[in-house]
Amino acid sequence: MSTLTAFEVQSFRNGNWKIETITDSKDLAVHQAEQVILHPAVRKVRVVQEAFDPASAEQKIRTVFFRDKKPVSKPPPTAAPGTPAAETAQTAPTAPSLTVPRRAGAIGLILKFALIVSAGIVAILALQYLGSRL
C-alpha cells in the first residue's frame, strides 16, 4: 500500500492556528494559502504536509509553505554606539515558530476512526459466531 498524503492549509488568527482546508494537492493547498492570507484577520498562513505509511504505521509531518504578514509598527529607537542598549539591539532576530500544533493529524484521525469501526465490525461478527455455536 502506498503512502497517504494530505496537505492542510492552516491560518493564524486571534492567537490560534485553525485548519482552513485539507487537500491531496500541494499546488492547490499553496494557492489556497495565498488566498487565505489576504483576509484582514489572518496574520500567518502555512501548509502542513502529513504523510502516513500504513505498512510501517509511521507518520511524518512537515511545513511546506509559510507566509507571515509583518505587523505595521515603528522601527525601534536606535541607541548610541557603545552603549549597552546598542549591543542588545544587535542580537539576531528569532525565526518564526513552525511547530505543528499538538493534535492528531487529519490522516491520523481518519485511520483511528477506521480502526474503531473495524474493531466494532469484528466484535459484532465474533458475537454472531459465538451466538450460533451455543
pLDDT at 116: 77
pLDDT at 22: 92
Q: What would the DSSP string read from start to end of 26-69?
A: HHHHHHHHHHHTTSTT--EEEEEEEEEETTTTEEEEEEEEEEEP
Question: Using CA atoms, how far apart are residues 17 and 12, in angstroms rounded to an integer?
Answer: 4
pLDDT at 98: 45
Nearest residue to 20 (alpha-carbon basis) of 30, 31, 32, 5: 32
pLDDT at 76: 62
Where the chain has pLDDT below 50, the residues are 89, 91-103
For 52, counting Cβ atoms within 10 Å of its Cβ (0-12 exposed, 13-18 middle, 19+ buried), the class is: buried
Asked if 117 and 89 touch (Cβ cutoff 8 Å), the reply is: no
**Assigned C-alpha cell, 47:** 501548509
Q: CB within 8 A of 112, min separation 6: which ones?
A: 104
Displacement of CA 37 from its chain's centroid (Å) = 16
pLDDT at 68: 92
Nearest residue to 106 (alpha-carbon basis) of 45, 27, 52, 62: 52
pLDDT tens per residue across span 74-109: 666 666 666 555 555 454 444 444 444 444 566 666
pLDDT at 40: 92
